[in-house]
Amino acid sequence: MSKSTAGRFFEDFRVGQALKHATPRTVTAGDVALYTALVGARFALPSSDTFAAAIGYPRAPVDDLLVFHLVLGKTAPDIALNATADLGCANGRFLSAVYPGDTLTAASEIVGLRENADRRSGTVYVRTLGLRQDGAAVLDVVRWLTLPKRDARALILAAEKVPKLPEIVDPTGIGRACPPLNLDGYDLALSGSPHRFDDYAVGEAIDHRDGIAVDDAAQQMAARLYQHPARPQCDGRPMVAGAHVISLARALSCNGLANAFHIAAINGGRHMAPLFAGETVYAWSEVLAKAELPGRADVGALRLRTVATKQRPDANFSRQQGDTPATVLNLDYWALMPR
């Protein structure tokens, strides 16, 4: 038996299969600093213990997307080594806040399998739980990937299944990772924007204006920070990992959404076109919906679509504008804002 692994192929998965992933990770102030330096995050909450304490957190929580990437990074050796496409994710919910010093592990269940039309590959649906050292779930998300067959002649599986996934996470159940906020302590000068929940309207679009030239070294360091196994780069221009694109879009969105302090749920994320190192990425967002959270007068939820593009969005972008060849990411999520 070989001591090293070449990764699983499509026929290695079964519906209901449970996977406990390797490399538990104690998240530290070092990870937080590196994340800031790699993606350019500028939101006040994960940057500052005093801001966090003033609004009701015990101290600065770890950035939601850093948690997301660290948890999903653990699944890579078991699921994604041979994946040819990361097709999407749905029903992502942040369930508990994570603080420096907490240790994250990940466990997954295969919740669906479907052979592709080419019969040489299939789609694997994976539900992944991120867990804290005390057993609390911090993240629950389903994603699906294309995996080739090891043996193209492998038979069609008896038990194909495509899971039912909600198009939108029900907002009445989100926000558990956010403690009750003390709005008196929420300083809009320190957060960087005067705009609260009530200032945003459904249909409103926000040009985030800033752009960032993606450097290959930073995106490679990010992948190693998330402990993805090393993969030789393909020839040609290095392609930027999807995780990094999501973080860049979120970081850019601070200019216009600085008070969207917490991503409570991810309805869906789709990578529309590859982004290459050296290209410049911009972002704009649209308010798709607004929701009050049951029993909470402190925060409301904005359903946002944040779009990362390779071109500076012009002044006339809008929700009527469909995706263009310059669109690299469509991220649909619920973000909390103070009321």
Contacts to a second copy from residues 68-97, by CB under 8 A: 77
Shortest Å distance, C-beta 248 to a second copy? 8
Binding of a second copy by 17 (CB under 8 A) = no
Q: Are 196 and 258 in contact (CB under 8 A)?
A: no
Out of 207, 289, 291, 323, name the contact with a second copy by CB under 8 A: 207
| Rounded (10°) CA dihedral 286, 169, 251, 322 | -30
Task: Decide: 290 and 168 in contact? Cβ < 8 Å.
Answer: no
Of 37, 85, 162, 297, the residue at the interface with a second copy (CB under 8 A) is: 37
Nearer to a second copy, 25 or 143 (CB): 25
Candidate segments 1-9, 140-148, 164-172, 298-306, binder of a second copy by CB under 8 A: 1-9
Output the smallest distance, CB 119 to a second copy, in A: 27
User: Does residue number 34 form part of the binding site for a second copy (CB under 8 A)?
Assistant: yes
- State which residue, 82 or 121, has the beta carbon closest to a second copy: 82
Q: What token pair was written down for 121?
A: 């590959």
Q: Which of 174, 209, 189, 191 is nearest to 282 (CA)?
A: 209
- What is the rounded distance in angstroms from the CA atom of residue 264 to the CA atom of residue 94? 5
Nearer to a second copy, 87 or 239 (CB): 239
Q: Which of 231, 190, 208, 204 is nearest to 82 (CA)?
A: 231
- Among the listed ranges 20-28, 88-96, 152-160, 331-339, the one in contact with a second copy (CB under 8 A) is 20-28
Q: Rounded to whole angstroms, how far apart are CA atoms 108 and 130?
A: 9
Q: Tokens 């939601």 sit at which residue?
A: 64
| Near a second copy by CB under 8 A: residue from 28, 84, 172, 318 | 28
Torsions phi, psi for 257 (to 5 deg): -135, 35
Residues near 322 by beta carbon (within 8 Å), at least 6 away in sequence: none
Query: Could you give the residue ranges of the DSSP H alpha helices within 40-153?
Result: 44-47, 49-55, 64-75
Residue in the block written with tokens 């970081």 = 251
Q: Which residues, 221 to 280, sit near a second copy by CB under 8 A?
A: 221-222, 224-225, 227, 229-233, 251-252, 255-258, 280
Residue 128 Cβ vs a second copy, minimum distance, rounded to whole Å: 15
Q: Determine which residue in the list 2, 167, 294, 316 makes contact with a second copy, applying CB under 8 A.
A: 2
Q: Give yes or no for residue 217 binding a second copy (CB under 8 A).
A: yes
CB of 103 to a second copy, least distance (A): 4
**Between residue 111 and residue 170, which ones bind a second copy under the rule CB under 8 A?**
133
Maximal C-alpha separation, the chain: 64
> For residue 79, what is the DSSP state?
I
Least Å distance between CB 251 and a second copy?
7
Per CB under 8 A, the list member of 140, 192, 237, 321 interacting with a second copy is: 192
Single out the residue of 11, 12, 17, 42 in contact with a second copy (rule: CB under 8 A): 42
Which among 66, 132, 148, 69 has a CA at the least distance from the CA of 95? 132
Stretch that binds a second copy, among 48-56, 61-69, 317-325, 331-339 (CB under 8 A): 48-56
